[in-house]
Amino acid sequence: MGDGVDAIPTNDPRYYDGESEQDIPLLQVSECVRFYRGISNRCLVWIKGNHPQKHHRIGNLAKEICRRLDVEYGTWTTKLRLINQDTGKQMVKLYLTHSVGNTLNSRAKDYEQRIANMNASLKRRMAPLAGDCLIMAMGHTHKLLNCRPAKRLILYDDGEKIKQKYLEAGDGDAEYIEPDRRWYVNTGSFVKLHKLDTDGYAERAGYDPIELGFIIVKIRKGEVVDVEARTV
Protein backbone atom coordinates (compact mmCIF):
# COMPACT_ATOMS: atom_id res chain seq x y z
CA MET A 1 0.00 0.00 0.00
CA GLY A 2 2.92 2.32 -0.68
CA ASP A 3 5.93 3.52 1.34
CA GLY A 4 8.09 0.52 0.60
CA VAL A 5 11.00 2.69 1.77
CA ASP A 6 11.16 5.18 4.63
CA ALA A 7 13.15 7.70 2.57
CA ILE A 8 12.98 10.50 5.14
CA PRO A 9 15.60 13.12 4.15
CA THR A 10 17.94 14.58 6.75
CA ASN A 11 16.26 18.01 6.49
CA ASP A 12 12.86 16.54 7.37
CA PRO A 13 11.74 17.15 11.00
CA ARG A 14 10.86 13.44 11.24
CA TYR A 15 14.44 12.39 10.56
CA TYR A 16 16.44 10.85 13.40
CA ASP A 17 19.94 9.47 13.01
CA GLY A 18 19.90 5.73 13.55
CA GLU A 19 16.15 5.20 13.21
CA SER A 20 16.72 3.27 9.98
CA GLU A 21 19.53 0.81 9.38
CA GLN A 22 20.16 2.55 6.06
CA ASP A 23 19.58 6.33 5.86
CA ILE A 24 20.30 6.89 2.15
CA PRO A 25 17.03 6.60 0.15
CA LEU A 26 18.57 5.01 -2.96
CA LEU A 27 20.26 2.38 -0.83
CA GLN A 28 16.92 1.79 0.92
CA VAL A 29 15.50 1.06 -2.54
CA SER A 30 18.18 -1.61 -3.03
CA GLU A 31 17.40 -3.12 0.38
CA CYS A 32 13.67 -3.13 -0.41
CA VAL A 33 14.28 -4.90 -3.72
CA ARG A 34 16.49 -7.48 -2.01
CA PHE A 35 13.83 -8.07 0.66
CA TYR A 36 10.97 -8.63 -1.83
CA ARG A 37 12.91 -10.38 -4.58
CA GLY A 38 11.91 -13.86 -3.41
CA ILE A 39 8.16 -13.15 -3.66
CA SER A 40 8.09 -10.56 -6.45
CA ASN A 41 6.42 -13.06 -8.80
CA ARG A 42 3.41 -13.02 -6.43
CA CYS A 43 3.17 -9.21 -6.26
CA LEU A 44 0.30 -8.12 -8.50
CA VAL A 45 0.82 -4.37 -8.18
CA TRP A 46 2.97 -1.87 -6.26
CA ILE A 47 1.73 1.62 -5.41
CA LYS A 48 3.51 4.81 -4.45
CA GLY A 49 3.39 6.50 -1.03
CA ASN A 50 4.16 9.92 0.42
CA HIS A 51 7.62 8.87 1.65
CA PRO A 52 9.03 8.10 -1.84
CA GLN A 53 7.08 11.09 -3.18
CA LYS A 54 9.33 13.37 -1.08
CA HIS A 55 12.10 12.67 -3.60
CA HIS A 56 10.12 13.34 -6.79
CA ARG A 57 12.71 15.94 -7.87
CA ILE A 58 15.35 13.26 -8.37
CA GLY A 59 13.14 10.38 -9.50
CA ASN A 60 10.25 8.03 -8.77
CA LEU A 61 11.59 5.63 -6.14
CA ALA A 62 8.45 3.49 -6.14
CA LYS A 63 8.58 3.09 -9.91
CA GLU A 64 12.27 2.17 -9.67
CA ILE A 65 11.42 -0.57 -7.18
CA CYS A 66 8.81 -1.89 -9.63
CA ARG A 67 11.32 -1.82 -12.49
CA ARG A 68 13.88 -3.84 -10.54
CA LEU A 69 11.30 -6.34 -9.28
CA ASP A 70 9.41 -6.53 -12.59
CA VAL A 71 6.14 -5.70 -10.81
CA GLU A 72 3.28 -3.62 -12.21
CA TYR A 73 3.44 0.03 -11.07
CA GLY A 74 0.06 1.27 -9.84
CA THR A 75 0.83 4.98 -9.15
CA TRP A 76 -0.81 6.48 -6.02
CA THR A 77 -4.14 4.73 -6.63
CA THR A 78 -5.04 1.65 -8.63
CA LYS A 79 -8.05 -0.56 -9.28
CA LEU A 80 -7.14 -4.24 -9.26
CA ARG A 81 -9.31 -6.94 -10.88
CA LEU A 82 -8.87 -10.54 -9.80
CA ILE A 83 -10.10 -13.01 -12.43
CA ASN A 84 -10.86 -16.68 -11.85
CA GLN A 85 -8.65 -18.44 -14.41
CA ASP A 86 -10.95 -21.48 -14.55
CA THR A 87 -14.20 -19.62 -15.24
CA GLY A 88 -12.96 -16.31 -16.62
CA LYS A 89 -15.27 -14.52 -14.16
CA GLN A 90 -14.19 -11.54 -12.15
CA MET A 91 -13.95 -12.57 -8.50
CA VAL A 92 -13.48 -9.10 -7.07
CA LYS A 93 -12.34 -5.62 -7.93
CA LEU A 94 -10.30 -3.73 -5.32
CA TYR A 95 -9.76 0.00 -4.98
CA LEU A 96 -6.25 0.46 -3.57
CA THR A 97 -4.78 3.84 -2.63
CA HIS A 98 -1.98 5.01 -0.41
CA SER A 99 -4.16 7.59 1.31
CA VAL A 100 -7.35 9.60 1.14
CA GLY A 101 -6.46 12.51 3.41
CA ASN A 102 -3.53 12.75 5.79
CA THR A 103 -5.10 11.64 9.07
CA LEU A 104 -7.73 9.25 10.36
CA ASN A 105 -8.41 10.03 14.01
CA SER A 106 -11.19 10.41 16.56
CA ARG A 107 -11.29 12.35 19.82
CA ALA A 108 -14.15 10.38 21.33
CA LYS A 109 -13.53 9.50 24.98
CA ASP A 110 -14.74 5.91 24.65
CA TYR A 111 -12.45 3.43 22.86
CA GLU A 112 -15.23 1.61 21.01
CA GLN A 113 -16.67 4.94 19.86
CA ARG A 114 -13.25 6.04 18.56
CA ILE A 115 -12.97 2.88 16.46
CA ALA A 116 -16.53 3.34 15.18
CA ASN A 117 -15.81 6.97 14.30
CA MET A 118 -12.65 6.10 12.40
CA ASN A 119 -14.43 3.30 10.51
CA ALA A 120 -17.23 5.72 9.62
CA SER A 121 -14.71 8.33 8.46
CA LEU A 122 -12.86 5.76 6.35
CA LYS A 123 -16.12 4.68 4.73
CA ARG A 124 -17.29 8.25 4.13
CA ARG A 125 -14.05 9.21 2.42
CA MET A 126 -13.70 6.14 0.22
CA ALA A 127 -17.26 5.21 -0.75
CA PRO A 128 -17.67 7.94 -3.44
CA LEU A 129 -14.39 7.10 -5.17
CA ALA A 130 -15.60 3.93 -6.92
CA GLY A 131 -18.95 2.23 -7.30
CA ASP A 132 -17.77 -1.13 -8.60
CA CYS A 133 -15.21 -2.18 -5.96
CA LEU A 134 -16.19 -4.67 -3.27
CA ILE A 135 -13.05 -3.88 -1.26
CA MET A 136 -11.71 -0.35 -0.79
CA ALA A 137 -8.36 -0.05 0.97
CA MET A 138 -5.88 2.63 1.99
CA GLY A 139 -2.57 2.64 3.84
CA HIS A 140 -0.64 5.66 5.16
CA THR A 141 -2.06 6.11 8.67
CA HIS A 142 -0.52 2.84 10.00
CA LYS A 143 -3.91 1.96 11.55
CA LEU A 144 -5.43 -1.51 11.22
CA LEU A 145 -9.14 -0.96 10.54
CA ASN A 146 -11.72 -3.27 9.02
CA CYS A 147 -15.11 -1.70 8.34
CA ARG A 148 -17.25 -4.64 7.30
CA PRO A 149 -20.44 -4.63 5.19
CA ALA A 150 -23.37 -3.41 7.26
CA LYS A 151 -25.41 -6.27 8.69
CA ARG A 152 -28.73 -4.44 8.37
CA LEU A 153 -32.07 -6.08 9.03
CA ILE A 154 -34.34 -6.16 5.97
CA LEU A 155 -38.08 -6.86 6.02
CA TYR A 156 -39.95 -8.16 2.99
CA ASP A 157 -43.03 -10.23 2.23
CA ASP A 158 -44.01 -13.09 -0.04
CA GLY A 159 -47.62 -11.93 -0.43
CA GLU A 160 -48.77 -13.71 2.70
CA LYS A 161 -46.14 -13.36 5.42
CA ILE A 162 -43.62 -10.73 6.44
CA LYS A 163 -40.12 -12.19 6.41
CA GLN A 164 -36.68 -10.96 7.36
CA LYS A 165 -33.08 -11.33 6.32
CA TYR A 166 -29.83 -9.45 6.75
CA LEU A 167 -28.00 -7.34 4.20
CA GLU A 168 -25.01 -9.23 2.82
CA ALA A 169 -21.79 -8.27 1.06
CA GLY A 170 -22.15 -7.34 -2.58
CA ASP A 171 -21.31 -9.38 -5.67
CA GLY A 172 -17.64 -9.02 -6.61
CA ASP A 173 -18.58 -8.97 -10.30
CA ALA A 174 -21.31 -6.31 -10.07
CA GLU A 175 -21.13 -3.03 -11.98
CA TYR A 176 -22.38 -1.18 -8.90
CA ILE A 177 -22.14 -2.23 -5.26
CA GLU A 178 -24.08 -0.32 -2.63
CA PRO A 179 -21.73 1.45 -0.15
CA ASP A 180 -23.16 -0.51 2.80
CA ARG A 181 -22.30 -3.79 1.07
CA ARG A 182 -18.55 -3.18 0.71
CA TRP A 183 -15.46 -3.61 2.90
CA TYR A 184 -13.38 -0.55 3.78
CA VAL A 185 -9.96 -1.23 5.27
CA ASN A 186 -6.94 0.63 6.54
CA THR A 187 -4.18 -1.86 5.94
CA GLY A 188 -2.01 -1.50 9.05
CA SER A 189 1.73 -1.31 9.61
CA PHE A 190 4.70 -3.05 11.19
CA VAL A 191 6.27 0.17 12.51
CA LYS A 192 6.56 0.06 16.29
CA LEU A 193 5.82 3.11 18.42
CA HIS A 194 8.71 2.50 20.84
CA LYS A 195 12.19 1.09 20.16
CA LEU A 196 15.06 0.40 22.52
CA ASP A 197 17.98 2.84 22.42
CA THR A 198 16.34 5.14 19.89
CA ASP A 199 13.13 7.06 19.28
CA GLY A 200 11.09 7.42 16.13
CA TYR A 201 8.96 10.29 14.86
CA ALA A 202 5.76 8.55 16.01
CA GLU A 203 7.06 8.48 19.58
CA ARG A 204 8.25 12.09 19.43
CA ALA A 205 4.91 13.20 17.99
CA GLY A 206 3.05 11.52 20.87
CA TYR A 207 0.96 9.22 18.67
CA ASP A 208 -1.30 6.65 20.31
CA PRO A 209 -0.24 2.98 20.28
CA ILE A 210 -1.52 1.05 17.27
CA GLU A 211 -2.07 -2.62 16.51
CA LEU A 212 0.65 -4.02 14.26
CA GLY A 213 -0.71 -6.21 11.52
CA PHE A 214 -2.15 -6.59 8.06
CA ILE A 215 -5.31 -7.39 6.10
CA ILE A 216 -6.15 -10.76 4.53
CA VAL A 217 -8.80 -11.13 1.82
CA LYS A 218 -10.17 -14.68 1.85
CA ILE A 219 -11.39 -15.99 -1.51
CA ARG A 220 -12.99 -19.42 -1.71
CA LYS A 221 -14.39 -21.02 -4.87
CA GLY A 222 -14.07 -17.75 -6.75
CA GLU A 223 -15.87 -15.55 -4.22
CA VAL A 224 -14.79 -13.26 -1.39
CA VAL A 225 -16.01 -14.90 1.80
CA ASP A 226 -14.33 -12.66 4.36
CA VAL A 227 -11.83 -9.87 4.97
CA GLU A 228 -9.82 -10.30 8.15
CA ALA A 229 -7.52 -8.00 10.14
CA ARG A 230 -4.59 -10.10 11.40
CA THR A 231 -2.47 -8.75 14.28
CA VAL A 232 1.14 -9.73 14.95
Q: Mind listing the pLDDT tens digit for each residue in 85-140?
A: 999 999 999 999 999 988 888 999 999 999 999 999 999 999 999 999 999 999 99
How confident is residue 16, by pLDDT bands cut at 50, 70 and 90?
Answer: low
Of the CA atoms within 13 Å of residue 180, those in its CB half-sphere come to 8
Q: Which amino acid is at 27?
A: L
Q: Which are the contacts of 30, defined by CB distance < 8 A and separation ≥ 6?
A: none
How confident is residue 202, by pLDDT bands cut at 50, 70 and 90?
Answer: confident
Supply the pLDDT for residue 186.
97
Please give the radius of gyration of the chain, using alpha carbons only, rounded to the nearest integer: 20
Whole-prediction pTM: 0.91
